[in-house]
Amino acid sequence: MNILIAEDELDIINLIELHLLKQGFQVFTACNGKKAIDAFDNNQIDLAILDVMMPITDGLSVLKHIRTSSTIPVIFLTARGDDVDKVLGLGLGADDYMVKPFSTMELLARVDAQLRRYYKYNSKENEPAYCVGDITLSKESCSIFKNNTKLELNAKEYKILELLIENVGKVYTKKQLYENVWEDAYYGDDNTIMVHISHIRDKIEDNPKEPKYLKTIRGIGYKFEKI
Q: Please state which CATH class domain 2-121 belongs to.
A: alpha beta
* CATH topology assigned to domain 129-224: Arc Repressor Mutant, subunit A (1.10.10)
Nearest alpha carbon to residue 205 among 220, 180, 227: 227
With beta carbons less than 8 A apart as the criterion, state whether 161 and 137 touch: yes
pLDDT for the residue 69: 84
Task: Report domain extents, the chain.
Answer: 2-121, 129-224
pLDDT for the residue 197: 96
pLDDT for the residue 204: 95
Q: How many CB atoms lie within 10 A of CB 10?
A: 10
pLDDT for the residue 84: 57
pLDDT for the residue 124: 46
Question: Along the 227 residues of the chain, how does pLDDT read in single tens digits?
Answer: 899 999 989 999 999 999 999 888 899 999 999 999 999 999 989 999 998 888 899 888 999 999 888 888 999 887 765 555 666 667 667 888 888 888 889 999 999 888 887 766 554 444 457 888 889 998 877 889 988 788 999 999 999 999 999 999 999 999 999 999 998 888 887 889 999 999 999 999 999 999 999 999 998 999 999 87
